[in-house]
Structure 1
């Protein structure tokens, strides 16, 4: 029987600091909404897995002007958005997406959603791998890592590279691409625990440094002795500032994320800006949606090929899947900012 209503988490108020999950000042509000009737070439999706990404925090930030954001913000009263959700088609008027098909699509924090069929990418199975990897290594995380390294910064075998957030969804794939696909001469990861660092090294990093260690600054100086050509930055903040002092002349910084500042009311400034000038550094920000559908598909193909050649490891330890009751969706999302996940963080709706 086709459902007629769906639960939704909507934005109740825009947070200026860390989002508030419970209580009268909560950032999100749980609602029930009617499901609209399907039009032509539309599908009704049942959301199975929600993608959790640090960039979602920017979409609800009142301090970022809409014209300075790379996508439309989530406004108060709107369903919280999620890129790369995994969903099942439960009703369809589409010629290409039948009932039962699994898709990867942008959805909201909801049980069901009606979307144009053209906005849902059908998941074509790769061997016996779980479909969740199309939200991670073969999805937005892997495409972001590949696009940043290959298209934006053009990393190659002559480069030594430092990757911050190396145990995260994007960083963990970037480590593998840099070392195993591009053949970078040295790959240095940065992560938040010794256990995460060991995991990053198992992916191919020559060394991974725990930024919470008392000796981190000296360890980083030692690991980057002779300096490095590329910094793939997923965190911003103090690590970015420090890395500006560890770059070779004409080094390249690719700015992917700034999770260190997303929940901060007093964002860290850059103290080592002279190094950008004196070392003639290039700093390039990017957003993966600029890749476009054709390039996106080509990158997914390259990642699948990398997996089949044994250069990209696709395993359960590359994703953190949290079984979650619908009322606890915001709590699982907040694990992003508490260092409680390794690789891609996914919410499995119970």
Structure 2
């Protein structure tokens, strides 16, 4: 195809303090330069929607301490993607290749040949699986459980955000791959809780229920060996009191506070001392050496029926002009599993 000379791009205009608003992002048309040797032109097909993106654009972020890319105002909004190579001046890639990488909210990207890798696919499954069941969120769940939580079959594991992309993968890995004796999910609403139990959780608690605190005590009788925390906030505070002595908390996310400036009283944090709890934060890129083995383990589990892809992806077809609105569904509970944007031509 003839190379386009321009591309639409969503740029960060104002770093939001609190909820994202209509003037947080701006749609711009930017020129595309010709390829240099070792570069490819990629047309984006799928965009990854991740809660972590909200932390990247927070005005409080210090770049050298950032969780991921930290764009300045005026920069393109960073995002994971699956795209198709439409032009190549690289010996590594040819036109039509499907590639995966970290790019931005752009229709087209000029990229170095080393900035992408082959999209992980599985015969009989849609290409979008490269961002969901075989994507970074599943790798995050796998590496968090194994490398940080050191989960074992005899463990009782609690997973918050259990109906989200990382949480739903963690439920399946803990119960169906590791074989943990008890897995308890925490999600929002009875429908999501029912779905989490279908994934394999022994129990799933609705954090919106007025009886949540009592339900948590009952569901964790005997206490908890490993807590996979995706939400932070008041749920984390409640979980401090449910942990065993020498237990582990995997600090993966804190979505409850990403769009809020409200302070949560962590009045139970002394439990970390009294119970000698290990609480460790991590980023999936900490464990890149484990990625190939993790993907193979998940592929094997999918083929054996131990890891379902059914319902684990919310695929939204959208025009490029609608990209920010789709992403914001993450913060209003409108997704089940991984939220993926399919860009319509």
RMSD between aligned alpha carbons? 1.1
2 CA distance for matches of 1:57 and 1:250? Answer: 33
2 CA distance for matches of 1:290 and 1:134? Answer: 20
For residue 332 of structure 2, what is the aligned residue in structure 1? 338
For residue 290 of structure 1, what is the aligned residue in structure 2? 286
The answer to whether residue 321 in structure 2 is matched with residue 327 in structure 1 is yes
2 CA distance for matches of 1:111 and 1:30? Answer: 11
2 CA distance for matches of 1:277 and 1:254? Answer: 16
2 CA distance for matches of 1:48 and 1:125? Answer: 14
2 CA distance for matches of 1:3 and 1:300? Answer: 35
The answer to whether residue 314 in structure 2 is matched with residue 314 in structure 1 is no
SS of 1:181's equivalent?
helix
1 CA distance for matches of 2:152 and 2:265? Answer: 30
Is the 8 Å Cα contact of residues 236 and 260 (structure 1) preserved in structure 2?
yes
CA deviation vs aligned residue, 1:86-142 (integer Å, no higher than 9, x gap): 111101112221101111111100100011122211125412111111111111011
SS of 1:37's equivalent?
coil
Trace 1:27-176 onto structure 2 (pairs within 5 A): 27-83=24-80, 85-123=81-119, 125-176=121-172
- Equivalent residue for 2:205, pick from 201, 204, 209: 209
1 CA distance for matches of 2:212 and 2:290? Answer: 38
The answer to whether residue 16 in structure 2 is matched with residue 15 in structure 1 is yes
2 CA distance for matches of 1:88 and 1:285? Answer: 34
Per the TM alignment, residue 65 of structure 1 is displaced from its structure 2 partner at its CA by 1.6
- Contiguous gaps of at least 5 residues in structure 1: none
SS of 1:260's equivalent?
helix
Per the TM alignment, residue 152 of structure 1 is displaced from its structure 2 partner at its CA by 1.4
2 CA distance for matches of 1:338 and 1:70? Answer: 22
- Equivalent residue for 1:302, pick from 291, 297, 301: 297
Per the TM alignment, residue 194 of structure 1 is displaced from its structure 2 partner at its CA by 0.5
2 CA distance for matches of 1:297 and 1:110? Answer: 28
1 CA distance for matches of 2:208 and 2:334? Answer: 15
- Contiguous gaps of at least 5 residues in structure 2: none
2 CA distance for matches of 1:13 and 1:215? Answer: 40
Per the TM alignment, residue 324 of structure 1 is displaced from its structure 2 partner at its CA by 1.2
Normalization by structure 1: what TM-score?
0.96
1 CA distance for matches of 2:120 and 2:333? Answer: 32
Deviates more, 1:124-133 or 1:147-156: 124-133
For residue 349 of structure 1, what is the aligned residue in structure 2? 343
Runs (4+) of structure 1 exceeding 2 A deviation are: none
The answer to whether residue 246 in structure 2 is matched with residue 245 in structure 1 is no
1 CA distance for matches of 2:79 and 2:65? Answer: 20
Is the 8 Å Cα contact of residues 187 and 204 (structure 2) preserved in structure 1?
yes
Is the 8 Å Cα contact of residues 120 and 130 (structure 2) preserved in structure 1?
no
- Equivalent residue for 2:184, pick from 172, 179, 188: 188
